Structure 1
């Protein structure tokens, strides 16, 4: 009998998307576990590739004839736990991506790069074992050991006697500091010449201060050569100590106590916590802006921890502000781990290790934090659950909400979906009783009232003002607030300085040579940018078509709006917040901190200012143009407009000062704007659901989007019609197929893009047919064809 490991190899192709069997060498028989990574020979050339072990079984000797051996074990303990392996199997059924891509999405990037394993002794390792393995060193490299020693080390690591650190070959995995350890006995017996005054001073200092310290501090007090002398003679030893790169997030955050809940909040906390550990239950926590949903989350998590369980808290990427993260750190301290795209790979790795080691009990993060390697999960919370950013738009195309449902079911956990404006799909499930709906209908602060909302029709001011973004009424209101030393938030759902450059003589628009999209003017860099492929060029002075100098800038953007407002209100202190101004690390936090400290009067920005902000001195919110997203070719455009307007309106009047909201629009009668004005979610929900039913769109049907891209337009059209034919031949006549059609932006990166949208209710063989369609990319003629399948696409543009 031999041990056989089944593993998924890191070769993302359809024909390799299956388990492969390898023989486990005798020395590793009782060490290899599911969830570990290994190196194995693969293919005819026997090149070494990485694989993830998903199962280990015992087989007959005869059955293993022809099996190749595992060459190297990369982990001393699993990097993926049992639940994550089960999760990958479940996701493969609905996320049409290769299984290796799903598994790797659960790991930090640094574990998918080149690295060495370093070993350190723990306090559990006996002195004789320590001396035998480490000698005089405090750490060692795993690859320097013999196979026999590696096996011994793996056993010690699994027993907790050795700590294993994955350190990238570029030294980014672990951040360390050099510390010194004093050998007092050696120091006391060491003779130093009386003429070496500095050495005598250091000896005296070390004898009086024998505790360890940072070498950098020692070198600041004593010269480098003096410290080097003590190191060379063994009077002090240098040792590397790990530094957590995320520790800065926890500094100077004062602890906080739970707030008093109102009746609705108390009911919500009681209902959610009662189901923990019983069976998976999903709750829709529908609360108006300012109703205290975050305090409900905090107290639910507190109750979860008291039951000995762990919790995941997801927020949209753009809401991961210091205001949000600090509320959780202040309540739960070092038990919190933070995961989001703003962290470096090293910081993410530090947080992953903290979670994996069981030191973190609460994970706060964006979409990918749903894969955090927590065990015994009691609660999963998704705040602003309607946000489309919870859907991954590249492989693997998962929705965090769907993954959360699977994890909640596995752990018998409570899943909380919170929003003032739930997605129609979530609200519909609650109406059918699939989710339990909990309502917070009043603001948590009894002094804070829902702001008054006014609609301003842009058409009433045509020809009256040169200010393209600001009506006289909005300017008047801004002036009133500034005179009272109150603050203003202005939303512009665009970015950059000007949308495009156009010739007034022939109408030519300056476009990207690689993509069918106009270039965007950025005045800060004095360049034209393509926001798809990154192409840049100088601002044109003449038309590229007719050489006319009658070239002008059209459209609007945040920078242009700031410049315009500064001319109209020169005394105003304005902060601009968009993708460009928050690109640098920590820029987001610095801008919000400055605004919170009232170093600015006006915060003007894009969608990222619409949610998660809580500034008591903000009494006016202005939406410069509510129509931006209304006419997009997407069936969710009205829903997203309503959600955005409702969310940004909630930034006003959150304390004891009354709040006002002014929405500028060219479409004041549009139902999304009218319902947003009245803050009437239920009215909007009923109206929009009737339209969705008539047009057969979610939540009345399911959808699948298929995208095909290729450098040859004729070729990609041919393949798109071939896909459509396969769908019609193998699926029922109840299915609705829209397309193939070019995408609204039909060419980017010199590739032509076509799409097909499937609408269906029940299709028994759909998964099999879609897998067969994925197989098309394995054909030789299709090697350059990019094909993706997206279950429930969030954008159908």
Structure 2
């Protein structure tokens, strides 16, 4: 038999199938298997994407060397998906296949120097651990290694290592009858307390064995020494068994969720449509448009329950699962051990275990962030994408896929419905619903019959400020004080982290910039650092101007750290929690912060956009937006849409239970339509107005778009290549296609690379896909000159 293999090299020359003979010693090779194969002088990992009985190759095929896993990590469905996706997202197939696996399952390659001759084998140099050439950096050692290789005294061997490790623990099994253990117990001396404890546990819980060591030590109040002695006496037999790490350990016992929630008429109507498609195995797409608090989650949970009743499984995506532990808690509370969770906040071991549980068919509901769309779940009966408008569903690095597009493909493959849910659907999804491509389902009232919170706009150009920082208006400050007096809670949002946005010298006008990026450094007072939020560069906060040595320097702009400091000065009695990238770096920190706030251990939750979605706290009666304009004037065609979505979403956090909610939005642009319509939370009017703006500008959803970015350390080289690509596009596309650029990106320098970009807008171009694949392949040739070309189909951001 012949294995068709995609090897682990992302390049034009290797982006094809290589054939290998399957030796009789490897009977377990299947489609989706990870294998180790010889490739030239090296050994590489690869994925089997097909098996055939014969080959068209006239020479002798090389043998597969090794099958890495007992069970193929990829299903047939995912293998087919990788081929389809490679055509659409301009990525090499191996890159997509690797993206479908947890990080820990990606191959680790080592180059080992091995002695050949007897003389070399006796050298002291080779008497210790194997010499890993990736770790050799001493110039004398490098010269010596070259000498050995030239004399053919040594050779380089390539080793493929699998980093994925299973977790094992000790399990203890019984070796005797209950009667025998009773006899042994009676023969022990009185002071053999620990041994008696163990034997009594065995006698009383005979049918509950075998037991894991941790459980046994706890139940019998014994230690490892007692167990070792019991094994030596043949009372027990010990073996290592695989156990799963539990990423949901913190969620157990926290759920107070009723499983018998009755849906209102609108929810019932929406569910009826979705359930019909589940039962009839229809690959239909539903857009569930429901105002904040309208009970979209309950519709999801009831629909998942229907899929499980039908003997099928369910996949649910949320924009960033580590930001929405409440959603995990609800799903876990409803479906218990049948739930698996996949997101980047898990440890590598937890992610590996959850992924294997899914692949082995031990779970039926998968909840996860963007990459969970590749979960190896079989027999899918329902796919849900919550907050479908979120830009985080689009991967902004290779492979540049959109989770929604992958979900739609999997829906067709599995003949199951997709539910896209949002209070503020993306314009593209809403337009498809209007055309009948998607089926629109509406929830127009809150599930608890309460009204939406009253939203007030504050014009920052004409207000008095509390404190000396010009951030909190007196009106917002008084509203916060009023809530604190009533023992109610407040959520405050500012979508900008750090303390100050930039440092300015008032003497010479110098602004402290990142040496790697075309951006000013942000001040982080708590770490005494100026930081770049793009490349991670940092330096100590200067005391004088680095340019003219003047001490007349100012730190301007506002971030969440500065707001926290100001609130602590103005309201010393208030308990404040801050939630941004800086406070949530540690594992579990998101959940810890939200749990504290949910348990009323804090009065104010201050954060960036991560607090705008997925939170449901009944005691929050005030939401304040410190500055609504942070994203409004970005050089991005959908900046208004993003602003409207964010303000509408965060406003929905107020008054979600019995108490009436209020929202105060501070802005310097109170007349802007996105802010005006967010005040009235009128999505339909916003949709109508914004569609007119998009139509006038020839932007999505009226046009398809492709963004081509060219990067180089040399700006002239990037510009030259960009113009070359533009000429190729002009010569091959129709005249009604719009080609904008090349132009420097809005952030023209990132991580020491200068970026130029070309935007193609089109309605129908049959040749474009082939043309872009040619440009992608040509990019391989110019990579050696330090040029990189990136192609982003339907980019979320155009800068």
Q: TM-score, normalised by structure 1?
A: 0.88
Alignment of 1:279-428 (within 5 A): 279-317=282-320, 320-428=323-431
Deviation, structure 1 residue 231: 3.4
Q: Quote the residue 2:3 is aligned against.
A: 5
Deviation, structure 1 residue 243: 3.0
Alignment of 1:193-592 (within 5 A): 197=192, 201=196, 205=200, 208=203, 211-215=209-213, 218=217, 221=221, 225=225, 227-246=227-246, 247-249=248-250, 251-254=252-255, 256-276=258-278, 277-317=280-320, 320-446=323-449, 448-461=450-463, 466-592=468-594
Structure 2 unpaired stretches of 5+ = 110-159
CA distance in 1, matches of 2:265, 2:187: 75
Q: Is the 8 A contact 2:373 2:406 kept in 1?
A: yes
Structure 2 SS opposite 1:6: strand
**Kindly tell me: are residues 72 and 456 of structure 1, through their superposed partners in 2, closer, same or farther at Cα, counting changes over 3 Å?**
same
1:92 matched to 2:92? The reply is no
String of CA shifts for 1:140-178, please: whole Å, max 9, x gaps: xxxxxxxxxxxxxxxxxxxxxxxxxxxx97986222222
Deviation, structure 1 residue 27: 3.8
Q: Is the 8 A contact 2:197 2:221 kept in 1?
A: no
Alignment of 1:638-657 (within 5 A): 638-657=640-659
Q: Which moved more, 1:512-521 or 1:316-325?
A: 316-325
Q: Is the 8 A contact 2:383 2:416 kept in 1?
A: yes
Q: Quote the residue 2:772 is aligned against.
A: 770
Structure 2 SS opposite 1:48: strand
**Kindly tell me: are residues 178 and 504 of structure 1, through their superposed partners in 2, closer, same or farther at Cα, counting changes over 3 Å?**
same
Structure 2 SS opposite 1:381: strand
Structure 1 SS opposite 2:19: strand
Q: Quote the residue 2:63 is aligned against.
A: 69
CA distance in 1, matches of 2:500, 2:298: 41
Q: Which moved more, 1:777-786 or 1:609-618?
A: 777-786
CA distance in 1, matches of 2:231, 2:785: 59
Q: Is the 8 A contact 1:459 1:666 kept in 2?
A: yes
Structure 1 unpaired stretches of 5+ = 116-167
String of CA shifts for 1:511-567, please: whole Å, max 9, x gaps: 111211111111111111112222121110111111101111111000100111221
String of CA shifts for 1:67-123, please: whole Å, max 9, x gaps: 2221222233321111111111211121111101111111122222459xxxxxxxx
Structure 2 SS opposite 1:330: helix
CA distance in 1, matches of 2:203, 2:14: 65
**Kindly tell me: are residues 226 and 372 of structure 1, through their superposed partners in 2, closer, same or farther at Cα, counting changes over 3 Å?**
closer
Q: Is the 8 A contact 1:258 1:299 kept in 2?
A: no
Q: Pick from 101, 105, 112: which aligns with 2:106?
A: 112
Q: Is the 8 A contact 1:320 1:365 kept in 2?
A: no
Q: Quote the residue 1:704 is aligned against.
A: 706
Q: Quote the residue 2:754 is aligned against.
A: 752
Q: Quote the residue 2:14 is aligned against.
A: 16
CA distance in 2, matches of 1:478, 1:260: 35
Q: Quote the residue 2:148 is aligned against.
A: none
1:175 matched to 2:167? The reply is yes
Q: Quote the residue 1:152 is aligned against.
A: none
CA distance in 2, matches of 1:207, 1:517: 67
Structure 1 SS opposite 2:73: coil
Structure 1 SS opposite 2:46: strand
CA distance in 2, matches of 1:664, 1:701: 34
Q: Quote the residue 1:37 is aligned against.
A: 34
Q: Quote the residue 1:625 is aligned against.
A: 627
Deviation, structure 1 residue 26: 3.3
**Kindly tell me: are residues 399 and 781 of structure 1, through their superposed partners in 2, closer, same or farther at Cα, counting changes over 3 Å?**
closer
Q: Which moved more, 1:673-682 or 1:233-242?
A: 233-242
CA distance in 2, matches of 1:658, 1:251: 31
Structure 1 SS opposite 2:50: strand
CA distance in 1, matches of 2:320, 2:767: 36
CA distance in 2, matches of 1:463, 1:411: 57
Q: TM-score, normalised by structure 2?
A: 0.88
CA distance in 1, matches of 2:249, 2:765: 51
**Kindly tell me: are residues 682 and 99 of structure 1, through their superposed partners in 2, closer, same or farther at Cα, counting changes over 3 Å?**
same
Q: Quote the residue 2:763 is aligned against.
A: 761
Deviation, structure 1 residue 9: 0.6
String of CA shifts for 1:453-512, please: whole Å, max 9, x gaps: 111100112688634211111111111111211111111010111111111111111111
CA distance in 1, matches of 2:596, 2:488: 15
CA distance in 2, matches of 1:287, 1:700: 24
Structure 1 SS opposite 2:53: strand
CA RMSD of aligned residues (A): 2.5
Q: Is the 8 A contact 1:310 1:374 kept in 2?
A: yes
Structure 2 SS opposite 1:273: helix
Q: Quote the residue 1:158 is aligned against.
A: none
**Kindly tell me: are residues 21 and 197 of structure 1, through their superposed partners in 2, closer, same or farther at Cα, counting changes over 3 Å?**
same
Q: Quote the residue 2:74 is aligned against.
A: 80
Q: Is the 8 A contact 1:312 1:363 kept in 2?
A: yes
Deviation, structure 1 residue 285: 0.5
